[in-house]
Amino acid sequence: MSEKELTPIRPQILEYHKLEIEEIFTGIREFTNLRAQILFFLGTANLTALGFAFGTQKSGLLLVAAGISLIAVTADSYVRRHQNAFFYRGLQLEKKYCPQQEHALLSTYVAVAAGEKTLANLRTVANLKDQKACIQALRHARSSVFGFWLPITIALVESVTGILLWLRLGWSLF
């Protein structure tokens, strides 16, 4: 056998796609950093409000902390939706140019960072032929338990605790 027969055929990547792949990975890194910064900032603000609430016995600050948790959910879902658009396009290009997609960098990253279920959902969306259906699916992508229900539960517990401390223990509102 000749060396030419042993070498796998690699599809030629268009120059535009090379540029697009670079932008996809840059965008994913930036959105990952942005999500971390927003969530750490809002998490710190939430804990600070809780600390002041219990330190000063002001139940209204527990309601402020609950509001911060709800802002975190909203901000995270907004940033995640934009990040998913990068994942979606990256998975399309990966499918086109990578012979073993399950071992490619983006597939591995999405599976580790967002979970196998998210990867499967994004691959399903990437296989849709209708662009409007793709956009709708990306806009309505579900969040993980930790990204949605955990902050909602925390906000609910903070709100109920604030109201109970105000009504039952006589803490002032502010």
Name the amino acid, one letter, at 125: V
Place of tokens 């219990």: 54
Whole-angstrom distance, CA of residue 108 vs CA of residue 127: 18
CA-based nearest residue to 87, from 169, 131, 21 = 21
* Residue 168: count of CB within 10 angstroms of its CB: 9
Region 56-85: what's the mean pLDDT? 94
Whole-angstrom distance, CA of residue 83 vs CA of residue 80: 5
Per the CB < 8 A criterion, the answer to whether 114 and 86 are in contact is no
Q: Examine the pLDDT at 6 and tell me if it is beyond 70.
A: no
pLDDT at 152: 94
The pair phi, psi for residue 166, each rounded to 5°, is -70, -45
Structure tokens at 41: 């900032």
Whole-angstrom distance, CA of residue 115 vs CA of residue 108: 10
Whole-angstrom distance, CA of residue 165 vs CA of residue 174: 12
Q: Examine the pLDDT at 8 and tell me if it is beyond 70.
A: no
Whole-angstrom distance, CA of residue 27 vs CA of residue 111: 17
pLDDT band at 21 (very low <50, low <70, confident <90, very high): very high
Q: Where exactly are the structural domains of the chain?
A: 14-168
For 133-155, what is each residue's pLDDT tens digit?
A: 988 888 887 766 677 888 999 99
